[in-house]
Structure 1
Amino acid sequence: MTKPFKSFIKPDLKKIEAYIKKNLDPGTSIVNDESFNLYVTGGKKLRPSLALLVGKLGDKDKYNDLIKTAASLELIHMASLVHDDIIDDSETRRKRKTTFYKHGYFQAVNTGNFLISSAIEAVSHIEHQEFHDTYALAMRQIVEGELFQFDTQFDDMQTIDNYLDKIYKKTALLIVLSIKLGAFATNVDRKVLKSLIEYGYNVGMSFQIIDDYLDFTASEKILGKPKFSDLKNGHYTLPVLLLRNKDSTFRSMLKKYSKHRANSEELSKYILESNAIQESKAISNKYLDDALQNVTDIESPIKEYLVEVVEKLRDRLN
C-alpha cells in the first residue's frame, strides 16, 4: 500500500519551503515579508507537487534541480496571484487581505516582480536549454493571458473558445509547465512525458472551471473572497457563457449589465436557477475523465498519486 499523497511529498515540500525562505529572506523589507507570507499561507501547492511527482520518474541524481524547479513554479504562481489582485481590485484572498490592499499598488507590483525575479534566479543554473526555452515561452503566454483577461472584461460577445484559451493561459498552462519542467529537470523519458503533458492540460482546465462555478455556489468562507466576484469584475466564466448562448432573456440581461455594470445579483440568481452550473460541472468532469486515461501507463506509485490528484478535484467538483 502506498503512503498518502501528502505524506509522500511532505519531505520534498519541506525542502522547497526552506529553499524559498532562504531566498526570499523575510525580515528584510515589506516586499520580502509579503513574498514569504504568500508562500506560507498559500493553497495546496499543486504545481510544485506535480513537478515533484513527475520528476521522481527521472534521474534521482538531479534531485536538487527538481527542488529548485518546483520552488520556482510556486513563486511564479504566487506572482500571478498578486498581479491578479491588482487587476481585479481584490480586497481579500484566502480570507486574508491582499498585498494590494495592505500595502498599496506600488508595494504589490514590487512584490509580484520580486517573486518573478526570484523564480527565474532559482533555475538559472540548470543546464538544459529546452527547459529554459519552454520556461521563457510560458512566461510570455502567461502575460498574454493576463492581458487577454483584462481586454475581455465586460465583453458579452466573447466566445467559449475565447474563454477556454483564457483559462488555459491563466491556469492550465502553469500546470502543464510544472509537468514539463519537472520532467526536464530529471530527464524523464519523452514518451512518458507526452501523456503527462496531456494529463496536466486536462487537470488544469478542470481546475479552473471548478473555481469558476464555485464562485456562484460556494460560501465566502470556502472561497476566501466575496461570492460572485468574477461576474462583478466582468470576467464572464463558463456558466455565464453557456447560459448566454441558449437563453435570449439572459443574453439581454448580460448585455445590459456589460454596459451599465449594475445589478450583478440579478444575473447571479438567474444563473443559479438555470442548468448552467450542472453543465459546467459535466464539462469539468469530462476533463478529469480524460486525465485518468492519460496516466494508465505511468509506473507506480506515481500513477496512483496522479490519480489521487484527479479524485480530489472530483470531490471538490461535487
Structure 2
Amino acid sequence: MTGRALTARIEVERADFTVSAEVSVAAGDCLAILGPNGAGKSTILGALAGLVPLTAGRIRLGDRDLDGSVHVAPEHRRITLLEQKPRLFPHLSVVENLAFGPRSQGRSRREAREIADSWLDRIGLPDAGGRKPKQLSGGQQQRVAVARALAAEPEVLLLDEPFAALDAESAPMIRRMLADELARTGTTSVLVTHELSDAWQWASSCLVLNDGRVVEEGTPAELAACPRTQFTAALAGYSVIRGRWQQGEGRRGALVVADGQVPGSADGVIDDGAEAFGIAVPHEVTASRSSGAVQSRVRSVSVHAGRLRIEAENGLFAESDERVAVGERLWFTPRKMRVRR
C-alpha cells in the first residue's frame, strides 16, 4: 500500500464565514491542521472526504480529480476519515467491521477474513473478533476503528483529533500503533489536532486556521520557535498576554493591559496604541505575592520536570519553587517578552 500526493484548493461557504485553504501533501507525508475550535478544520477534512460539498475549488489525488470538473463519491475516493468517536457498525461483530473495507473493494470473504484476523493480532485483540463493539472498552473500540480504517487500504487517511476522547492509558498505545502503520504502509495523511506535540511527531508541515482562513504555515519546528499568532504561541507552550502597545525608545516599549504594563520588545513595526500580544517563555516569567508587572488570579497549577507551572487567568504562565493555590492573586513579571501584532 502506498499513499498518493494530495493537492486541493478548498472553498466552503458556512453560515458564519467561508472556509478557504490550499492543501498540498506529498505522497506518504503528513500535514497537520491546527486552530481553535470552530476555525474550519473539520470542514476541510469533510471536503477532502467528499462529505462536504465545495463552493469552489478543486481536489486532486495523484492523477485523479476528485472534485472540481467532476465529483467522485466518498466511497470511491480511497480516502478514509477517522474521527474522535470510533463509529463502528454496532450490528456487526468486530471481525465483520474489520472485513467491511476489504469486502467493499471486491475481496473474497476468505481474503477479507484473513485481513481482519491479521489486524486483530496487530492491535492486540486476537480473541475479540466475535464480540460486538458495545462489548469493548472505549480504548479497544478506537483500536478497532484505527484498524478498520487501515484495513481498507486508503491512499489518504484523514485524522480528526482521533486521540481526544481516549483515556491516558489508551492514547499513547494508539498513537504509537497508528504512527507505526502509517510509516509501514506509506499512507498519506492529514491530521487535525490541538496538540503541537502530535504535529511535531507526525507532520512535515502545518497549517494554522482561524475563522476559516490560513493565518500561519510552516514546519512544526518553525511554529514552535517563532509563532506568529496568539493561538500558535499558546499551543507551543508560551505565556501569552494581549493588550495595547505603548511605544518607548527604539524597539522597546510596554504592553498595556487592564491591570498594569508589561515591558517588552516589538517584533517588527507596531503602531503606538495598536492592539498586540506578547509572548514569553514560562521560565522567564516570575510570580510573586508582593510586587510585579501585572496581577492576576491563578487558574491552574501543574508540575513539569519537578517545578510548579502556574497558569494565570490573563494567559501568562510562570514557573515557581513556591507552593501556590488556585484562585490566589499573584504578581507576574516576564523578564523577556516579544510583542507582535
How would you bin the TM-score normalised by the shorter chain? Answer: under 0.3
If asked which structure has higher relative contact order (CA below 8 Å, sep 6+), I would say 1
TM-score between both structures, scaled by the size of structure 1: 0.27
Which of the two has greater helix per residue? 1
Which of the two has greater strand per residue? 2
